[in-house]
Chain A
């Protein structure tokens, strides 16, 4: 009697597992990519017209269309609200958002729902009607209130040499603005103004330029300090056993666990007890920026260094000791060369962490323009001033800076490791 044929052993396909991996990894990557992409798309890269006051009055629709007086021949910017069907202009219905040139002197806002509030917007283009030049300062008068602020940048075109280009506004009144034009020799006959895109505005602004510089410099100093401290701590925690080690381990985690804002507050309170000369030169000054970044970034560098030392077996040091090293020589000749990857990881991590640090800097260093303003502070200040586009421009600068620094660090690191 023969045994019944043994069923052949089979394993399930790897496909579901691999697809699962791909989906989970991909969904996160997709969100990151989509987020950055949305920022890039949202930003208006073209120049914008200078617009005057709102022409749509607040109120409710009664029954029929609301007429609005316009000036024939002028360009208007129209934006549809949620309660309108469109804007009737010469029998045509305008919807959405855009510019149009008025050919009549009345347009009509068509309501979607009776008795609903009026939500559309119609703003005329502001035109330059007066041009003056005294001591290389141009004073331009607009026929509509321009709504621009001192310190913003404006693009002049169609005005000739010495005039055309992006200039900083040095003074404003409702209908006037002044620009310093050191190279302008004679009064221009026509001037057209547009607002350059927020990225240009941000990069031109001395405040933002300062905050880019302060961010890059403070992050680099923070990284160097973090590495300088994290290497010995990581090495001690990885190689030595002593009483109270769990306590020290916990202490090292405090900056990771605490909300960053609390770290800033704790620093601020600590410096109340410092001698005056010390607290006067740190608190609300640039050293406070570095200290606030360091407190948090260093904790991450310590963790990273400790893990990378833990991964290097002690056997290497032991062999080096028998070959004639003392502990110090074994550390520099045998351990550190192997910890290079970890060192690079710790450096990039603490740099990134420092770049994004905001809470403790706000509390401990303040948000003074041209003094303690770093990029996250700039983003916050822009947001507070209601300039979403400005904030977005600052965010893009941060993303750009981080990507460039990381690419450089990683290519250098790769070369070092694989050379």
Chain B
């Protein structure tokens, strides 16, 4: 579950205040809004990458607004995917698990499991610059899911993909959601994408988040 209560964020001249948002556990939330309205900022606040001035952020039953990003248990897929250029796909998937000092055999098993879930088993030994857009997106998803986070934050995950891949990735996201039961907050500016995926649907207007029941 993701609960934002009355949070306010300020960065330079840009300001958001009194933002409230709740995504129930295991739900697929889609947050829509125009470019530059602060969607990414909210996502970064949830991940702990941007400090909030006031309010509270709860993930599950835990108040996380004072925790470093590492301890929040979120998976984050930024818009540009940001695959680490010096690591092959296998290392990217194993990254979070290596940090948690899990035994080699467990890491290998989890990497294979993720690769199978995402259909990237044949790509495990590739460098990220040899991946297509869709493949890179899958790897970024796998990297974010590796440590079994309770919450997955997706920043416009489908924006750079062509029509055909778009549909394929939508299916994949639904599949992941079903298989893992993770709570997802997905940012987009495409209404069709929102209709296609959303379990619950939020709209950002004038610096406020409104739950859209339609």
Q: Which residue of A lies closest to B147 (CB)?
A: A324
Q: Is B115 an interface residue (CB 8 A)?
A: no
A-facing residues in B74-122 (Cβ within 8 Å): 74-76, 78, 80, 82, 84-87, 95-96, 99-100
Q: Is B69 an interface residue (CB 8 A)?
A: yes
Q: Is A321 an interface residue (CB 8 A)?
A: yes
CB distance from B137 to the nearest CB of A (A): 14
Which bucket holds chain A's interface residue count? 10 to 19
Q: Is B49 an interface residue (CB 8 A)?
A: yes
> If the complex has contacts A322-B48, A322-B72, A323-B147, are A337 and B78 also in contact, measured as CB distance less than 8 A?
no
> If the complex has contacts A313-B82, A316-B82, A318-B47, are A326 and B76 also in contact, measured as CB distance less than 8 A?
no
CB distance from B2 to the nearest CB of A (A): 14
CA of A326 to CA of B75 in the docked complex: distance in angstroms?
A: 15
> Are A321 and B70 closer than 8 Å at their CB atoms?
yes
Contact of B85 among A322, A329, A338 (CB under 8 A): A338
Q: Is B68 an interface residue (CB 8 A)?
A: yes
Contact count A vs B, C-beta below 8 Å: 64
A-facing residues in B47-84 (Cβ within 8 Å): 47-49, 68-70, 72, 74-76, 78, 80, 82, 84
Q: Which residue of A lies closest to B80 (CB)?
A: A315
Please give, as numbers and ranges, the residues of chain B lying within 8 Å of A325 by CB-CB distance.
70, 99
Please give, as numbers and ranges, the residues of chain B lying within 8 Å of A213 by CB-CB distance.
none
> Are A324 and B100 closer than 8 Å at their CB atoms?
yes
Q: Is B143 an interface residue (CB 8 A)?
A: yes
Please give, as numbers and ranges, the residues of chain B lying within 8 Å of A225 by CB-CB distance.
none
Q: Which residue of A lies closest to B72 (CB)?
A: A322
Contact of A323 among B44, B85, B99 (CB under 8 A): B99
Given contacts A318-B49, A321-B68, 4 further A-B contacts (CB under 8 A): A315-B78, A318-B82, A319-B84, A323-B144
Could you write out 26 A-B pairs with CB less than 8 Å apart?
A313-B80, A315-B78, A316-B84, A318-B44, A318-B76, A318-B78, A318-B82, A319-B82, A320-B95, A321-B48, A322-B47, A322-B48, A322-B144, A323-B96, A323-B144, A323-B147, A324-B70, A324-B96, A324-B99, A325-B99, A326-B68, A326-B70, A329-B99, A333-B95, A338-B84, A338-B85
